[in-house]
Amino acid sequence: MSDAENSPPTEPTERRAQPGESSFDSAFEPVSVFGDESTMDLRPGADNCYKCSVCDTTCPVAAVDDDFPGPKFQGPEQWRLKRKEGSEIDDSIMSCSNCMRCDDACPSSVPLSQMHNTARGEYVDEQMDTLSIEYLRNRILANYRTSAWIASKVPRIANFAMNFGPGRWLMEKAMGVTNEREFPAFATQTFRAWWGERGGADASRQNAREARERRGDPVDAEKKVAYFHGCYSNYNTPEVAKALVRVFESFGYEIVAPEQRCSGTPMFANGMLADAERAAEVNVSSFSDLVEQGYDAVASCTSCSMAIKQEYPELFDIDGIDDVAANTFEALEYLRIQEDLEAEIAEASVDEQSFAYHAPCHARNQGLDRQALELFRGLDGVAVEDVGDSCSGISGTYGWKAEKYETSMKIGEDMFEHMHDAAGDVGMTECPTCAMQMEHGTGYEIKHPLQLLEEALC
């Protein structure tokens, strides 16, 4: 590599027109549009777009909302428009649900969601009234972990208050949080409280050693994972987090549950990039130390693994971020890579049951949309039916906004219909907010694949 390539990027300097150059040439200087271009240069991405419009045809919001201009506009076109002096980000960027399906669809690898995230962040920072109800509502929704932490101190009272009719009516009128959905219940004991009571990493080390002995694996084998449980498994569905712990330990993995914040997923979707960066700094710092010690990071939520693997390195410059991103896996993905999971499943059996499985958009983006179907095909007593490739429509906080509720339900119609057509009347998915939408649209109980794996193997 030449010295020039090793040198840090230098600031562009103004210069006069040279003989043979037009004044237009001399006037042209790279413009930093969405922040520091030395770390986030979106121009090559914009230039890669050849306007095929494939992304527009896969956008679930554009399919049901005639006012939404679609990913091509929100990405490369808006980027170019913004280069014109005085122009602003179009407010329709707030109608993008950040499902990231367009990323997957683009044949030219245009970094659409990176463009959307940066544009949304710029819109919120520079154009949104931070005293408005909409901003306040979005900030509260984006920082779900804060509300959940408070609610977890008094879960029974919180569960009553959050679904108290007149309070919900007021919340919709005053804050724009839809009254149509039931708030998910807070657990009476968080995952972290259970984990601590159980003995934390020491107990896990012991359980893992015993499992390795039972399995005939070398007792000193280095099987270590750092669990990113995220907010929802901690505060609302600790049964999913516990299933992960039991399943991984049964394969001989020692688990640690390091300090962590929200993955940032709801913050990206609401353009709260400063909040997301603060959370990412804590997460990367916690997990990079462990990655250096030989741990891999596993997440039970596909949006959390997506955020760490893709959105963090695309949007932030934090020490250790690339190593953490490269060593983060979704839980089932990890076990399928490291273990002969199919063989273990083939020898197991459970009580007869049928599931209607929905692959979350963020699982699709990581190439994980078939994993539960392929895995459980071999499990005696179980039928898992794919309900198609549509988006569930809720996209985290999106479907909780009163003005987006109808759009969210229209997007989900396909999935609801296919769930009703499927033989099973229990749903299955890896994403907690898709689970909320599945339950809301069909009334079905929803399980995480880890819970079925626990039933089969533990």
Q: Are 139 and 102 in contact (CB under 8 A)?
A: no
Query: Which of the stretches 101-109, 235-243, 332-340, 450-458 binds ligand SF4 when contact is defined by CB under 6 A?
Result: 101-109
Tokens of 371: 């994993």
Q: Are 429 and 435 in contact (CB under 8 A)?
A: yes
The least distance separating ligand SF4 from the CB of residue 59, rounded to whole angstroms, comes to 3
The least distance separating ligand SF4 from the CB of residue 399, rounded to whole angstroms, comes to 12
Q: Which of 69, 79, 89, 113 binds ligand SF4 (CB under 6 A)?
A: 113
Tokens of 456: 């089969």
What are the residues whose beta carbons fall under 8 Å from the beta carbon of 203, sequence distance 6 or more? none
| Residue 260 or 407 with smaller CB distance to ligand SF4 | 407
The least distance separating ligand SF4 from the CB of residue 368, rounded to whole angstroms, comes to 18
Q: Are 42 and 118 in contact (CB under 8 A)?
A: yes
DSSP secondary structure, 75-108, as one string? IIIHHHHHHSTT----GGGGG-----HHHHH-TT
Q: Does 89 bind ligand SF4 (CB under 6 A)?
A: no
Distance CA 212, CA 457 (A): 14
- Residue 93 one-letter amino acid: I
Q: Which of 106, 240, 257, 382 binds ligand SF4 (CB under 6 A)?
A: 106
Q: Does 448 bind ligand SF4 (CB under 6 A)?
A: no
Q: Are 244 and 300 in contact (CB under 8 A)?
A: yes
| Residue 75 or 238 with smaller CB distance to ligand SF4 | 75
Q: Does 32 bind ligand SF4 (CB under 6 A)?
A: no
Backbone angles phi, psi at 297, to 5 degrees: -95, 135
Q: Which strand (E) or helix (H) includes residue 394?
A: none
The least distance separating ligand SF4 from the CB of residue 71, rounded to whole angstroms, comes to 4
Query: Which of the stretches 3-11, 49-57, 256-264, 430-438 binds ligand SF4 when contact is defined by CB under 6 A?
Result: 49-57
The least distance separating ligand SF4 from the CB of residue 61, rounded to whole angstroms, comes to 4
Closest CA to 333 of 367, 289, 380: 367
The least distance separating ligand SF4 from the CB of residue 125, rounded to whole angstroms, comes to 19
Measured from the Cβ of residue 367, the count of other Cβ atoms closer than 10 Å reads 10
Q: Are 141 and 266 in contact (CB under 8 A)?
A: yes
| Residue 176 or 396 with smaller CB distance to ligand SF4 | 396
Distance CA 303, CA 405 (A): 20
Q: What is the CA radius of gyration of the chain?
A: 23
Question: How many helices (DSSP H) and strands (DSSP E) are in the chain?
Answer: 29, 8
Closest CA to 232 of 15, 435, 437: 435
Q: Does 54 bind ligand SF4 (CB under 6 A)?
A: yes
CA angle 64, 65, 69 (to 5 degrees): 120
Q: Are 173 and 141 in contact (CB under 8 A)?
A: no
- Residue 227 one-letter amino acid: Y
| Residue 54 or 140 with smaller CB distance to ligand SF4 | 54
Closest CA to 33 of 87, 76, 67, 79: 79
Tokens of 441: 């649209």
Q: Does 161 bind ligand SF4 (CB under 6 A)?
A: no
Q: Does 108 bind ligand SF4 (CB under 6 A)?
A: yes
Number of residues in contact with ligand SF4 under rule CB under 6 A:
28
| Residue 34 or 376 with smaller CB distance to ligand SF4 | 34
The least distance separating ligand SF4 from the CB of residue 414, rounded to whole angstroms, comes to 15
Tokens of 67: 């006012």
Q: Which of 82, 101, 229, 447 binds ligand SF4 (CB under 6 A)?
A: 101
Query: Which of the stretches 4-12, 110-118, 219-227, 292-300 binds ligand SF4 when contact is defined by CB under 6 A?
Result: 110-118
Distance CA 189, CA 183 (A): 17
Query: Which of the stretches 106-114, 179-187, 267-275, 287-295 binds ligand SF4 when contact is defined by CB under 6 A?
Result: 106-114
The least distance separating ligand SF4 from the CB of residue 54, rounded to whole angstroms, comes to 4
- Within positions 56 to 75, which residues make up the interface with ligand SF4, using CB under 6 A? 59, 61, 71-72, 74-75
The least distance separating ligand SF4 from the CB of residue 72, rounded to whole angstroms, comes to 4
The least distance separating ligand SF4 from the CB of residue 110, rounded to whole angstroms, comes to 4
Q: Does 53 bind ligand SF4 (CB under 6 A)?
A: yes
The least distance separating ligand SF4 from the CB of residue 82, rounded to whole angstroms, comes to 16
Query: Which of the stretches 6-14, 105-113, 187-195, 326-334 binds ligand SF4 when contact is defined by CB under 6 A?
Result: 105-113
Residues that bind ligand SF4 (CB under 6 A): 49-55, 59, 61, 71-72, 74-76, 96-102, 105-106, 108, 110, 112-113, 116
